[in-house]
Amino acid sequence: MKKIFNFLFLSLLIIDVISCDNEDQEQLIISAKGSGAITAPAPGSMYILNPEENQLNTILTLTWNPADYGVPTEITYKVEFAKSGTEFAEPFLAGSTTNTYLSWNISELNGAAVTAGLLPFVEGELDIRVISTIGSVSNTPQIAELITINITPFTTDLPKIAVPGKHQGWDPPTAPLLAASAFGETDYEGFVWLTIEGDEGFKFLAPDQTGGFFWGNTDWGDDGTYTGKLIDKDGEDNCKVTADGYYLVKADTEALTYSTALVSWGIIGNATPTGWDSDTDMIYDPVTRTLSITLDLVQQDAPDNGIKFRANDGWDLNLGDSGADGTMEFGGDNIGVAESGNYTITLDLSNPREYTYSLVKN
C-alpha cells in the first residue's frame, strides 16, 4: 500500500512540474504584436484653457485601442506629454492606467502643459504618446504613434513688471519687481530702493512671452514733465526721485501714470517698549532687500494687542496679519507675541503684493 501511495505522489509531482513548464512556455511566447493607436482626440485639436472656468471640469479625454501581446494578459498604459519638437527628451508622465482611456480636468491639463514647457497665454503644440507594458517589471514596451494637439495654457501668477535703473546697475533680469492686483489688471505696485546717484533714474519694463525681463521688451519712462506721466515711445526720459531711500512705487501701464512715495518702516504696539505711542524704526538691508530690528517684546495676544508695522510714523500706510498666516495685509490685524523675550523681527517687502514677516526669539 505504501508503494502505491508513493507512486501516486510521484505521478502528481511530475504532472505539476509539467504544468509549471507549460506555464513558463506560455509566458515565453508572449510578444509585442501591436501598440494600439490613439483614437481620440483628433490630431490638431485645439484647447484654450480658461482660468475663470471651474478648474475641476474635464477638458480632455484620451482614448486608445488595446495593445496586442498575443495572449490575454493585463496591460499597463502610461501616457506621456512633451513639448512638440523635443522628441520626448524630457517627457512629462501625465498618468498611468490599465484602462484604455484617461481624462484630465482644466487644472491638471494646464499644469501638465506648463510643466512640459508650453508658455502661458501662448498657443503651443503638445505631443502625446501612450506606452504599453506587461508584468510587474514593465516588460515588452510598445509605443503608440504620437498625436499632436494645440493648447493655450495660463498662469494665475500676478502679472509683473521690472524696475531697472541706476539703483541696481540697469540690469533687467535682476531688477526688483512690481505686481498687479490680479490677472488682467495693470495697477502695479511694489517696494524698491531707489537712488539719485548719477542722476540717471529708472524705468519700467514688461516681460517677454517667456516671462523674462530684457532690453528690447516694452518699457515705459517719464514723458518729460516729471508729473507722474508715462510714455512707451522712443526718447522717453528716465523716471527720477529726489532722495536715496526705500520707496512704494506704483505704475499703471494702461493709464500711463506712476508715483513714488518715500517710506521709513517701524514697529509699534503694546508688545514693544514704547507701546502704541511711537514707532521703533527698522533698518533696511539692500543685500537681502528686507527690513529688520532686534527688540525686546512682551507677550500680547492678537488681534486686539501685539504689534504692527507702519510707515512714516503714521497710520496711512500700515501692515498687519489678518488670519495669523504669516502674510501681510494693508490695515491687517495686530500680530500677537506668544512669549516675552528678545526677538529679531524681519519685514520682507521684496515680493510685491505677497509681503511677509518673521518673529524669531533669540
Say whether pLDDT at 2 is over 70: no
Q: Has residue 5 been placed in a domain?
A: no
Q: Give the model's pLDDT for residue 73.
A: 82
Residues 196 and 123 grouped into a single domain: no
Q: Give the model's pLDDT for residue 109.
A: 96
Tell me the CATH number at 217. 2.60.40
Residue that the C-alpha cell 509699534 belongs to: 268
Q: Has residue 25 been placed in a domain?
A: no
DSSP 8-state class, residue 338: S
Q: Give the model's pLDDT for residue 283.
A: 96
Instruction: State how far the Cα of 240 lies from the Cα of 202, in Å rounded to an integer.
Output: 6
Q: Give the model's pLDDT for residue 61.
A: 97
Say whether pLDDT at 13 is over 60: no
Mean pLDDT across 17-30: 47
Q: Give the model's pLDDT for residue 10.
A: 41
Point out which residues pair with 284 in neighbouring strands.
Answer: 291
Residues 225 and 119 grouped into a single domain: no
Say whether pLDDT at 7 is over 70: no
Ranking 64-73, 95-104, 167-176 by mean pLDDT, the lowest is 64-73
Residues 233 and 269 grouped into a single domain: no
Tell which of 262, 280, 307 closes a domain: 262
End-to-end CA distance of the chain: 89
Residues 54 and 142 grouped into a single domain: yes
Grid coordinates given for 18? 509539467
Q: Has residue 98 been placed in a domain?
A: yes
Residues 176 and 147 grouped into a single domain: no
Number of domains in the chain: 3
Mean pLDDT across 266-291: 95
Tell which of 152, 178, 201 closes a domain: 152
Q: Has residue 295 been placed in a domain?
A: yes
Tell which of 152, 178, 209 closes a domain: 152
User: What's the pLDDT band for 256 if we cut at 50, 70, 90?
Assistant: very high
Q: Has residue 109 been placed in a domain?
A: yes
Residues 104 and 202 grouped into a single domain: no
Q: Which H or E element spans position 262?
A: strand 257-262
Q: Give the model's pLDDT for residue 233.
A: 78
Q: Has residue 354 been placed in a domain?
A: yes
Question: DSSP letters of 214-225?
Answer: -BTB-EEEE-SS
| Residue 197, phi-psi category: left (phi > 0), alpha (psi -120 to 50), beta (remainder) | beta
Which strands form 219-222's sheet, in the order they lie side by side?
Answer: 230-231, 219-222, 204-205, 160-162, 177-179, 187-194, 245-252, 257-262
Residues 145 and 169 grouped into a single domain: no
Give residue 171's domain range. 160-262
User: What's the pLDDT band for 9 if we cut at 50, 70, 90?
Assistant: very low
Q: Has residue 61 been placed in a domain?
A: yes
Tell me the CATH number at 131. 2.60.40.10
Residue that the C-alpha cell 505704475 belongs to: 251
Mean pLDDT across 83-94: 93
Q: Has residue 12 been placed in a domain?
A: no
Say whether pLDDT at 22 is over 80: no
Measure Cα distances from 295 to 275, 305, 338 in Å.
13, 17, 15
